[in-house]
């Protein structure tokens, strides 16, 4: 399986860490994001700028608001306040064509959420055909191409129930990739996987990074974060507590809460 991934021709142009640009040049930007569930504040003002081709890793204890933050980024969860920009276009506020904007933001879920009644190819091409109105044959080619990027073009006719968890998650990634998104969000993409299947999914993500995809990843894969992330963000209690390059966050965390959280993973 991983062979299929490695065989991809990869442009080597973006192997160096992405530059830390300013908010103004950010590909994806979140400003003063607030969200409460009932009387319970979950996000208390999140600011986040992601540069082009940057992989930002979001860490934090459960209940810290990581997933909610991610789900607010494409308004699956409606933020109470705050603004979201993608390449300078505003995603929040009235009059936004949300369905159009969402095609620029791919999201991968913890539980894959593949459509069980459609084949792998059907999953990948549904939005191409029904939203982008691509003709069947063109969608098929684009879909196979997306499946090829995750090393699963030979599984196009398989239904989700015939695929392993790792394969299902890769199909889910292909489904998002097929729309050529500007940024990809990952919501604990490997948490529901058996340990031996995690590697394939991480390989695909590493590959995407190499090809220059802009990514925000919520995950507990510390080793992967250390290897692949350009920047690590530590969230707690609805706020970003600390952020920096992985060497700094893992090697020399400045904040007590970050230290306490990371120590639990070093045992």
d(CA 123, CA 171): 8
Instruction: Kindly report the backbone phi and psi dihedral angles of residue 137, in degrees, each rounded to the nearest multiple of 5, phi listed first.
Output: -70, -40
Q: List for the chain the helix, strand, coil content (%; round to 5).
A: 40, 20, 35
- Beta strands per DSSP E along the chain: 28-37, 40-50, 55-59, 81-86, 89-90, 105-108, 183-187, 214-218, 231-236, 239-244
d(CA 153, CA 255): 45
- Which of 113, 153, 211, 248 is the binder for another protein (CB under 8 A)? 113
- Which of 46, 91, 156, 179 is the binder for another protein (CB under 8 A)? 179
7 binds another protein, rule: CB under 8 A: no
Which CB sits closer to another protein, 50 or 127? 127
109 binds another protein, rule: CB under 8 A: yes
- Which of 43, 48, 147, 176 is the binder for another protein (CB under 8 A)? 176
- Which of 49, 68, 74, 167 is the binder for another protein (CB under 8 A)? 74
125 binds another protein, rule: CB under 8 A: no
> From the CB of residue 264, how many other CB atoms can be counted at a distance below 10 Å?
8
Which CB sits closer to another protein, 51 or 125? 125
Question: For the packed helices 136-149 and 120-130, what is the interaxial angle rounded to 10 degrees?
Answer: 130
Binding mask 25-64 for another protein (x = CB under 8 A): ----------------------------------------
For binding to another protein (CB under 8 A), which residues are involved?
74, 76, 99-100, 102-103, 105-107, 109, 111, 113-117, 126-127, 130-131, 161, 172, 175-176, 179
């Amino acid at each position: 399986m991983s062979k299929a991934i490695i065989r991809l021709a990869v442009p080597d142009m973006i192997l160096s860490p992405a530059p830390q640009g300013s908010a103004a040049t950010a590909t994806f930007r979140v400003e003063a994001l607030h969200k409460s569930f009932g009387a319970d504040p979950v996000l208390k003002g999140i600011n986040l700028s992601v540069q082009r081709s940057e992989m930002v890793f979001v860490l934090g204890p459960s209940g810290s608001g990581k997933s909610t933050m991610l789900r607010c980024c494409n308004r699956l969860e409606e933020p109470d306040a705050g603004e979201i920009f993608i390449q300078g276009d505003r995603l929040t506020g009235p009059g936004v064509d949300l369905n159009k904007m969402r095609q620029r933001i791919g999201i991968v879920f913890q539980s894959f959420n593949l459509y069980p009644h459609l084949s792998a190819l059907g999953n990948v091409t549904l939005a191409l055909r029904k939203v982008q109105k691509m003709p069947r044959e063109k969608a098929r080619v684009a879909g196979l191409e997306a499946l090829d990027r995750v090393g699963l073009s030979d599984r196009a006719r398989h239904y989700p129930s015939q695929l392993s968890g790792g394969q299902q998650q890769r199909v889910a990634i292909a489904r998002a990739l097929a729309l050529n998104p500007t940024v990809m969000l990952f919501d604990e993409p490997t948490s529901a996987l058996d340990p031996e299947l995690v590697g394939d999914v991480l390989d695909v993500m590493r590959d995407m990074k190499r090809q220059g995809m802009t990514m925000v990843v919520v995950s507990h894969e510390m080793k992967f974060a250390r290897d692949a992330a350009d920047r690590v963000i530590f969230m707690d209690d609805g706020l970003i507590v600390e952020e920096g390059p992985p060497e700094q966050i893992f090697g020399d965390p400045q904040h007590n809460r970050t230290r306490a959280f990371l120590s639990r993973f070093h045992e």
